[in-house]
Amino acid sequence: MKLLVFMQLLAAIRCNAGAVQKPDSSIDAKSEQQQLNSHLKPDHITASDRAKQAMEGFMDYYWNQDSANKKISFFFSCGQIGGSGENWKKCSCSNDASCINCYRWWDAVGMETVATYGLYANTTNNSDVPEIIFEHSPYNGNWDGVNFFTFVDDFAWFGIAYLKVFDWLKVSRSIIAEIIIKIILITIIKIILIIIITIIIIIIIIIIIIIIIYS
């Protein structure tokens, strides 16, 4: 029994000794790490700066132009459908109007990322990205998905991305508002013209009747 108590006491002393020594080693390691990172000055980099740098890097590294059809750009990630190393940048579009070979779900996620950054940073930089993708990708309402195969789940990703773009640019809302105003104005003008023409016709009829009566 005494031996058991002695062993427990010895173990407790060792644990306490380790607990006392541990802060010193962690402090030293922390100081060393601070010295290594001192040139980076992380305290001077704001969250918005980090986000901006991340977005710039994202666009520099992954948003590239198709070498064969230069009008089309997309986020290169062909390695996810085959290939490795440099092959991931060799994806090429089928023609200069559409790109069924290269646009996949990750382009939608990339587009949503651009829109999300634009919302929070209050900037319209890279607003041409969703326009280029919409014009050339098979994932929009103009694509004949019955006769030409595309991935159903990819359509969902693009739908979510376009909703984010809608919230970001609000271009669609302003266009809709302008269209509605134009429609209202045109309708009012048409009504006024109809009333005027009707009045003129009535006046002409009255004049004709008067002429007939007194002729």
The angle subtended at Cα 100 by Cα 91 and Cα 144, nearest 5°, is 180
Q: Quick check: 92 and 102 in contact, CB under 8 A? A: yes
Query: What pLDDT, on a 0 to 100 scale, did the predictor assign at position 56?
Result: 92
Dist CA 103 CA 91 (whole Å): 10
Q: Quick check: 74 and 130 in contact, CB under 8 A? A: no
User: Which residue is listed with tokens 């100081």?
Assistant: 31
CA distances from 131 to 102, 111, 140 (A): 16, 10, 11
Query: Which of 46, 22, 112 is CA-nearest to residue 75?
Result: 112
Q: Quick check: 80 and 104 in contact, CB under 8 A? A: yes
Greater model confidence, 82 or 61: 61
- So where are the chain's domains? 2-44, 47-168, 170-215
Q: What is the DSSP letter of 65?
A: E
Residue 202 pLDDT exceeds 90: yes
pLDDT digits (tens, 9 = 90+) for 107-155: 999 999 999 999 999 888 999 999 899 888 888 777 777 777 777 788 8
* pLDDT band for position 22 (cuts 50, 70, 90): very low
Residue 96 pLDDT exceeds 70: yes
Give percent above pLDDT 70 in the chain.
68
Query: What pLDDT, on a 0 to 100 scale, did the predictor assign at position 18?
Result: 43
Q: What is the mean pLDDT of the chain?
A: 75
Dist CA 9 CA 6 (whole Å): 5
Instruction: Tell whether the torsion through CA atoms of 114, 117, 121 and 122 is positive or negative.
Output: positive
Stretch 173-192: mean pLDDT: 74
Dist CA 135 CA 69 (whole Å): 14
Residue 205 pLDDT exceeds 60: yes
Query: Which of 168, 114, 115, 106 is CA-nearest to residue 137?
Result: 106
Q: Quick check: 100 and 148 in contact, CB under 8 A? A: yes
Angle between helices 152-169 and 105-121 (to 10 degrees): 20
Locate 85 and state its tokens: 């190393």
